[in-house]
Amino acid sequence: MFEIAMGEAGVIIFSGRLDAAQCAKAQAFLDAIADPKVFDFTKLEYISSAGLGVLLKTQKRIMASGARLKLVNVNNHIFDIFRYSGFDQIFDIQR
Amino acid sequence: MSERSLSLLSLARILDVTRQLAAPFDLDTMLAQVVDAAKMVIEAEGGSVWLADQETQELVMRVGSGIATVRVPMGRGIVGECARSRAVINVPDAYADPRFNPEFDKRSGYRTRCLLTLPLIGHDDALVGVLQIVNRRDGVFDGGDEQIAMALAAQCAVALQRVAFTERSVAAERLHKEIAVAREVQMSTLPDVMPAVPGYDMFGSFKPTDETGGDTYDLVQVDDGTVFLLMGDATGHGIGPAISVTQMQAMLRVALRLGASLDDAYMHINNQLVEDLADDRFITAFLGMLDPARHEVRYHAGGQGPLLHFQAASGECVWYGPSLFPLGAMHLPAARVAQVIALAPGDVLGLLSDGVYEYMDPANQEFGEARVAELIRTHHGRPMAELGRLILDALNVHGSGATQADDVTIVLVRRLPGGALDSAAMGDGVQRVEQRFARTFDSLAPIFEFIGRFAEQAGFQPDLKFAVDFTVEELFTNMVKYNAQGKGDIALALESDGTMFTGELVDDDSERWDVTAAPDADVSLSAAERNPGGLGLHLIRRVMDGISYGHDGRQSTITFRRALRTG
């Protein structure tokens, strides 16, 4: 089960498991937001490389304005994936 | 009338007849047309055409003045003599000729006076038959008549050959089309995918000998979770039996969908087939219901046997015979109670048509039960799709080029030793589960559930569970994306021996495509330069201790492992 929702102060809340079957849902939600800034991963249990692709696409979209996505409350397993993939260099990650 | 004008008139008639003979008649019309033409051109009272039957070396008369079909051996009588010598025989006084058989006259009341008998020789110099013209209207046949009749006979022979050839081609073409349609219908009734039943591995295959066969099989999960197993063989092969088995299968699916019990469905379908099938036709069939929770197969085997039960505990194959007479052979006044086979962990139920057991090598030696049993004893631990292919390969080797004489149908059902539902240990702390998943992203949810159950039962640390999820998703979605056209489900096996976790993804229908040969992604690039492709394997190499790839036939296997960490 994967959910994505707008929380307080423009923070976007991810929860559940972002796998390849859920990417379309996440991408559609993010594409509809003009200026995404902070993603809260407190309740995100799992992400696959397809999920990383969704985040990368969103980052590329907002890069023109020099912005950088901030990912907060990232659990250890997910942080490992970011670290192994070098994505910890791309996003501003807070564990 | 002068000789010359008579010839011109005859020539005009022959040309007229020839034009008529060129029209596309069926054989019977053409035969009548030839006799009419002869009567018109020669001015005779009657005639008959005898067609040569090269197989029996006889002459067969299909038309003649109201006389029933008659067969005469070549060489006997005037007609037979004409066929043998291929020469015109002009008999001015029939009753004075010892070769003449007066039987026809006696039966018909007709009086034969004179006869002109000519061979019908086709364009390829083959004897098509014999044309016999009876009773010139005035007098006897003369040399001029012989000349005219020979010209006519040549035309008739070619016309008859053309019609016979056309009739054969049309019949063959129609049959060919009908067979193709029947085959399409029959093949469409076979299951596309094996039912995904936790704790079980299933395989079905049907290889017809003709374009259509009399065998069929079905493996389908019913609403209550039980699995319907069918393996049937109608007597003979070709269109008729193919329709019979297809009809039986359709009736069964409807009966089971309507909630009929196996015993009732069997009785009703048997009795329906008694009415529908010709008296010399019947269907041998195994009809069973597998209850995957109780690990029991309840079945009726109408004339179908031997049934093979590989028992993992003893490592031996046990054989059962039919439980009842074949379907459609006799009316059943009341429902019979089904037989039961209990499947222990690792057991295999093998339903193989007699086309397997009786597969002949060039020296007419049957493949036999012993060879089947040996293959199953040796390879029972492999996925059933692989075991099925090994049996098919062994049949090919055994036949070594001999023509497949009968339909070959194989249904294999294995209760996995470490079934997902009851997690039986394989001994020495080895646990293994295996399940097949449809080739779609929608399978991800059931795959994660499957991994979750095993992770819990095997006591995985959370990071290992995450790593297995991640690895399986990357590899499975790759298989779905890059081999969407592959046939069948993708098998996932998970095994833990207490110190090492091993996972295996098997695609039974894939080109060689070694994912492990892909280069690592360059993770030092900036966001603008990065794209997510190629990242999956890079990450798998970091969350797993090892990954390897194998390809055999059409089968791709990716194996990944990681040491279990305690604490």
- What Cα–Cα distance (Å) separates residue B70 from each residue in B30, B63, B79, B525, B546? 18, 9, 12, 94, 83
pTM of the model: 0.45
| Tokens linked to A3 | 């959910």
Cα–Cα distance for residue pair B307/B320, rounded to 1 Å: 5
Angle at B45 between CA B42 and CA B51, to 5 degrees: 80
Give residues with Cβ within 8 angstroms of B522, minimum separation 6: none
| For range A66-86, the mean pLDDT | 90
Calculate how close chain B gets to A50, using CA atoms only, in Å: 7
Q: Choose the closest CB to A46 out of B466, B524, B526.
A: B466
Per residue of chain B (567 residues), give pLDDT as tens.
444 445 666 666 666 776 667 665 677 777 787 788 788 888 899 888 898 988 889 998 865 444 567 888 888 899 999 999 999 999 999 999 999 988 878 887 889 999 999 999 887 788 999 999 999 998 999 988 888 888 888 878 888 888 877 777 777 777 777 777 777 777 777 887 788 888 899 999 988 776 556 788 888 888 788 899 999 887 765 667 777 777 777 778 777 777 788 898 899 888 888 887 777 777 888 999 999 988 999 999 988 889 999 999 899 999 998 888 888 888 888 888 899 999 999 999 999 998 899 888 888 888 999 999 999 999 998 899 999 999 999 999 998 877 777 888 999 999 998 643 333 334 456 788 889 999 999 999 999 999 998 998 888 888 899 999 999 999 999 999 888 888 889 999 999 988 889 999 999 999 888 877 766 666 677 766 766 556 788 889 889 988 888 888 888 999 999 988 754
Cα–Cα distance for residue pair B254/B252, rounded to 1 Å: 5
Which residue did the predictor score with more confidence, A21 or A64?
Answer: A21
Calculate how close chain A gets to B423, using CA atoms only, in Å: 26
Instruction: With CB atoms and an 8 Å threshold, state whether A20 touches B441.
Output: yes
Cβ distance A23 to A58 under 8 Å?
no
Calculate how close chain A gets to B273, using CA atoms only, in Å: 47
- How many cross-chain Cβ pairs, A to B, lie less than 8 Å apart? 74
- What Cα–Cα distance (Å) separates residue B115 from each residue in A6, B94, B276, B283? 108, 7, 53, 56
pLDDT confidence of residue B2: 41
Cα–Cα distance for residue pair B5/B2, rounded to 1 Å: 5
Instruction: With CB atoms and an 8 Å threshold, state whether B535 touches A52.
Output: yes
Q: Choose the closest CB to A90 out of B477, B527, B536.
A: B527
Q: Choose the closest CB to A19 out of B473, B536, B543.
A: B473
Calculate how close chain A gets to B495, using CA atoms only, in Å: 22
Q: What is the chain B residue with the closest CA to A75?
A: B463
Cα–Cα distance for residue pair A59/A67, rounded to 1 Å: 8
Q: What is the chain A residue with the closest CA to B441?
A: A21
Give residues with Cβ within 8 angstroms of B201, minimum separation 6: B383, B384, B413, B414, B416, B434, B436, B491
- Measured in degrees and rounded to the nearest 5, phi and psi for residue B32 equal -65, -40
